[in-house]
Structure 1
Amino acid sequence: ADCGFKAVNYKRGYLESRLRVLHRHRQQDNYIHAGVIATMADHTAGYAAFSLVPEDHRILTIEFKINFLEAAYGRALLCRSRILREGGQILVGESEVFDQRGNREALVAKAMVTLRSIHQSKIKPIQK
């Protein structure tokens, strides 16, 4: 899905992504929607995990927990995700989402993400 996230810093087991917040990302009271923040945390952790698995593997989220710490209302979000534990098939990562408010960042959410590495041959295509 194209949510508008852009990778801004990428290294083995780590990814930072940025989102320029548009009207469609906001809820009825003009805060950034919690679903956008959660999706960003999951998406960024997934790509951090991709850097640790063979090219013929895919990453699937198997467990996800997020704590929202503060409302987000700025013009951009920044997510920093890193993989904490790399097993044979299971990887555990964390994501922190920051609301960019002028020249400062406010930590607005923290997520723990458990992911599974699976060979692409085991992925069943979905009919459209």
Structure 2
Amino acid sequence: HFIHAGLMATMADHTAGYSAFTMVSEDYRILTIEFKINFLKPAHGSALKCRSQVINKGKQIIVSESKVYDVRNKSEKLVAKCIVTMMVVPVENIAKTKF
């Protein structure tokens, strides 16, 4: 069995978002505006691990790199790398949806 690529992409995006959150005050939110992921190997271990770090922080744009690892028998293999570009948005500028 293999782990679905969409799951790995979601992990990479979310982890990048949390790394970006560490760079802004709580008056701001982070929104992904672009990401590119390279799947390097199939993942089929018992667990996945994702790490992300901010590689560029601007006033309105933050770029993070995420790495997804296949974990088996206490060993980690890099299976995907992702570059995520995010926009820093003030909370009051986020649209309020009415249903």
Structure 1: how far apart are the matches of 2:75 and 2:95? 44
1:113 lines up with 2:84 in the alignment: yes
Query: Per-residue deviation at 1:124?
Result: 0.7
Query: Per-residue deviation at 1:54?
Result: 1.3
Structure 2: how far apart are the matches of 1:53 and 1:126? 24
Runs of 4+ in 1 over 4 A off after TM superposition: none
Taking every aligned residue pair, what percent have the same amino acid on both sides? 56
Aligned to 1:53: 24
Structure 2: how far apart are the matches of 1:101 and 1:80? 16
TM score, norm. by length of structure 1: 0.75
Q: Which string of whole-angstrom CA distances, capped at 9 and with x for unpartnered residues, describes residues 35-75 of structure 1?
A: 00000000000000001011110000011000000000111
Q: Which runs of 5+ in 2 are unaligned?
A: none
Query: Per-residue deviation at 1:88?
Result: 0.2
Q: Structure 1 residues 62, 102: CA separation in 2 closer, same or farther (over 3 Å shift)? A: same
Q: Which runs of 5+ in 1 are unaligned?
A: 1-29
Q: Size of the alignment, in residue pairs?
A: 99
Structure 2: how far apart are the matches of 1:58 and 1:106? 32
RMSD across aligned positions (CA): 0.9
TM score, norm. by length of structure 2: 0.96
Aligned to 2:59: 88
